[in-house]
């Protein structure tokens, strides 16, 4: 089978759908790879790079669309490009099916089987093919770099002989993939980072990235089963706008990431928020292409408002990195579709059926809802949350089972101790009692210490090892063949190794706090 990669005709699109590395991967999958000349020039990949990787160069897009079985693209094809496509061709690219019905109709009329990479469902199995996430990761990182450049000051705080520099304050609105990437980048650069999201479930993710989770007092959650946020109530939005106004007076950089597939981006940062910001502040709007989260964003432009606030409506795509990640996403999908050897379009597959927006001359959009829990018969099983009464019954059953299990264990231990006490000599009982108490104390000591402290604890156990050494010395005799002497020697050896290791670990730990 032949895979073709045409040049992107949009002057603003710097990415390419394959890189020399992914070309090699496509060949390992069994495909012949054809690429249009200069297709990777904007992403800093030369024709020689592709030739060295094993791709065959062609001069025109007509050769790609007319000869290849599968075409890989970034931007959605133009109507003129669709005219060049042959019947039965499979194309993988961004298509934005909710906004491009005329394009879908033309693809269907040409009987082109089109997979919208931006329509890959957000399920665990499809994460490796999710181009929206991989591109959002780059956008979030780049947003911090752009914001820092236009801010013109340090992001981290410093105390120098020349004076004190306060750390910059960065607010990220929306804690999806892009938002979390921005949080991580800003935090690593030393900024004070805050983030807002309508989904309460992301609070821990924000905190784990070093940010402070901002929320409003209203008990309302914006989470949905699709992974995107839902539209919030009027009361929530009013409280949200009030919170943003308070933050506008404090923060230096605002990064907005909220987008809704198939719809215009919600307006979250309004004129009075911009007016409240300090001169020199920066807004980086990652939703600029869909209307912008800021009411004053101009798509594709960077400009400064009358009160000195810079609004960034375009980002460098980091085309080399973005092309590599996008190419990996495409290769993962081709892997799932059987590679060249077992290639097939399986419309029963949850990923393919929802991303295949045109198939055999018909439009396949919008797709059927994704089942929450598949049953054995292939249908959907409705999942409902347990009621309070069911939860009480469940907890009661668990408690009853735990109590029964505990009594069984105690009975077995009691029976064992009775047998030991009935038939063992008195000296054994004395030593056995000391052994049991030692095990109990040691178990309580170890299990009640946090995992993060286990390494320091190893150094502290030198004292316990010292007691073992003393006990072993007291048990040694002149008779080398005595089993007690042999065991005492082994105990002394092992405890000595532990002591030496403890001192080494302690020494290394102390060096961490020395310059």
Helix (H), strand (E), coil (C) string for 228-283? CCCCCCHHHHHHHHHHHHHHHCCCCEEEECCCCCCCCCCCCECHHHHHHCCCCCEE
| DSSP-derived 3-state class of residue 93 | strand
Q: Which one of the listed residues 127, 208, 226, 399 is annotated catalytic?
A: 127
Closest CA to 309 of 267, 286, 278, 284: 278
Q: Which one of the listed residues 47, 228, 321, 475 is annotated catalytic?
A: 228
Please give the angle made by the CA atoms of 206, 207 and 212, to the nearest 5 degrees: 85
Find the distance separating the first CA and the last CA of the chain, reported in whole Å: 61
| DSSP-derived 3-state class of residue 488 | helix
Euclidean distance between CA atoms 11 and 442, whole angstroms: 70
Q: Which one of the listed residues 7, 93, 133, 229 is annotated catalytic?
A: 133
Euclidean distance between CA atoms 78 and 10, whole angstroms: 9
Q: Parallel, antiparallel, or unpaired for β 192-196 and 282-285? A: unpaired
* The pair of three-digit structure tokens given for residue 444, joined into one six-digit string: 């309580």
Q: Which one of the listed residues 34, 94, 130, 323 is annotated catalytic?
A: 130
Q: 184 near 209, Cβ under 8 Å?
A: yes
Q: Which one of the listed residues 49, 69, 122, 320 is annotated catalytic?
A: 122
Does the annotation mark 47 as catalytic? no
Q: Is 462 exposed, middle or buried (0-12, 13-18, 19+ CB in 10 A)?
A: middle
Does the annotation mark 122 as catalytic? yes
Q: Parallel, antiparallel, or unpaired for β 302-304 and 282-285? A: unpaired
Does the annotation mark 130 as catalytic? yes
Q: Parallel, antiparallel, or unpaired for β 310-312 and 356-359? A: unpaired
Does the annotation mark 228 as catalytic? yes
Closest CA to 177 of 195, 156, 155, 159: 195
Query: Phi and psi for 374 in degrees, rounded to 5?
Result: -70, 145
Does the annotation mark 67 as catalytic? no
Residues annotated as catalytic (active site), given as ranges = 122, 127, 130, 133, 228
């Amino acid at each position: 089978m032949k895979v073709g990669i045409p040049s992107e005709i949009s002057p603003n699109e710097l990415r390419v759908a394959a890189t020399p590395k992914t070309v090699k991967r496509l060949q390992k999958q069994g495909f012949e790879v054809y690429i249009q000349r200069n297709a990777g020039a904007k992403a800093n990949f030369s024709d020689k790079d592709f030739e060295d990787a094993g791709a065959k160069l062609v001069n025109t897009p007509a050769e790609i669309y007319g000869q290849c079985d599968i075409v890989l693209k970034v931007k959605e094809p133009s109507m003129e490009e669709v005219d060049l496509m042959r019947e039965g061709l499979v194309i993988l690219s961004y298509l934005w099916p909710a906004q491009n019905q005329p394009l879908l109709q033309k693809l269907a009329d040409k009987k082109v089987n089109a997979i919208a990479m931006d329509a890959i469902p957000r399920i665990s199995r499809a994460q490796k093919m999710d181009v929206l996430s991989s591109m959002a990761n780059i956008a979030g990182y780049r947003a911090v770099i752009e914001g820092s450049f236009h801010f013109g000051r340090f992001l981290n705080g410093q105390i120098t002989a020349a004076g004190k520099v306060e750390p910059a304050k960065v607010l990220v609105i929306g804690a999806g993939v892009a938002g979390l990437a921005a949080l991580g980048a800003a935090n690593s650069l030393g900024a004070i980072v805050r983030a807002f999201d309508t989904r309460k479930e992301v609070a821990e993710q924000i905190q784990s990235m070093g940010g402070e989770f901002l929320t409003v007092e209203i008990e309302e959650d914006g989470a949905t089963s699709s992974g995107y946020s839902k539209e919030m109530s009027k009361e929530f939005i009013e409280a949200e706008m009030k919170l943003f106004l308070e933050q506008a007076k404090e923060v230096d950089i605002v990064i907005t990431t909220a987008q809704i597939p198939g719809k215009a981006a919600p307006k979250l940062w309004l004129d009075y928020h911009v007016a409240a910001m300090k001169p020199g502040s920066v807004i980086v709007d990652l939703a600029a292409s869909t209307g912008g989260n800021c009411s004053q964003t101009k798509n594709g432009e960077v400009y400064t408002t009358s009160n000195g606030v810079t609004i960034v409506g375009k980002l460098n795509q980091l085309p080399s990195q973005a092309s590599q990640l996008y190419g990996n996403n495409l290769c993962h999908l081709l892997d799932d579709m059987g590679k060249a050897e077992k290639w097939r379009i399986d419309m029963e597959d949850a990923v393919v059926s929802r991303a295949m927006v045109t198939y055999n001359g018909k439009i396949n959009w919008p797709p059927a809802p994704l089942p929450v829990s598949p049953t054995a018969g292939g249908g959907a099983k409705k999942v409902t949350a347990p009621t309070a009464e069911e939860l009480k019954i469940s907890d009661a059953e668990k408690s009853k089972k735990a109590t029964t299990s505990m009594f069984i264990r105690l009975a077995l231990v009691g029976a064992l101790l009775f047998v030991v006490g009935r038939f063992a000599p008195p000296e054994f009982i004395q030593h056995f009692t000391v052994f049991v108490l030692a095990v109990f104390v040691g178990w309580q000591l170890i299990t009640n210490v946090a995992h993060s402290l286990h390494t320091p604890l190893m150094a502290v156990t030198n004292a316990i090892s010292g007691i073992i050494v003393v006990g072993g010395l007291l048990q040694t005799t002149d008779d080398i063949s005595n089993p007690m002497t042999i065991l005492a020697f082994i105990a002394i050896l092992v405890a000595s190794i532990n002591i030496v290791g403890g001192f080494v670990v302690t020494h290394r730990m102390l060096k961490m706090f020395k310059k």
